[in-house]
Amino acid sequence: MSVAEIISTVLLALGGLVMLAGAVGVVRFPDFYTRLHAAGKADTLGQGLILLGLALPAGLGLVSFKIALIILFIFVLNPTATHALARGAWVIGLQPWARDRAGEQPAEEDA
C-alpha cells in the first residue's frame, strides 16, 4: 500500500467514526436542539473526511476538483440547513431542554 492509500483509509475510517458518534448523539440526546447539533456537526465533519479520503488517491485532476467543490458546498450548506431547522423549531415554539426539568422526559412532540 502506498502512503496515499494509507492516509485515505485513515480518513475514511475517521469519517465513519465521526458519523457513528453523531448517530449515537441523535439517539442519546434529550431534545430536538441537542440532537440537531450532534447531527449537524458530525455530518459536516464526517462527510468532509470521507470525501477527502476519496479525493486523495485520485490525485490532482478533475475528480479531485469536483470532490473539493462538493466539500465546499457541504461546509457551507450543512450548517445553514441546521440553522434553518433550529430557527424553524424556535419560531413554532419548540422549547429547548432545561436543567430544571432534567428529571422529566421530553414531551412527545419534542422527540
List, for residues 30-86, the tens digit of each pLDDT value.
Answer: 999 999 999 999 999 999 999 999 999 888 899 999 999 999 999 999 999 999 999
- Answer whether residue 23 is part of any domain: yes
Q: Which pLDDT value is given to residue 25?
A: 93
Strand, helix or coil for residue 77:
helix
Distance CA 84, CA 94 (A): 14
- The total number of structural domains in the chain stands at 1
- Answer whether residue 109 is part of any domain: no
- Answer whether residue 87 is part of any domain: yes
- Answer whether residue 94 is part of any domain: yes
Residue 26: pLDDT band with limits 50, 70, 90: very high
* pTM score, whole prediction: 0.80
- Answer whether residue 11 is part of any domain: yes
Q: Residue 30: which domain range?
A: 3-101
- Answer whether residue 106 is part of any domain: no
- Answer whether residue 57 is part of any domain: yes
- Answer whether residue 63 is part of any domain: yes
Distance CA 20, CA 106 (A): 23
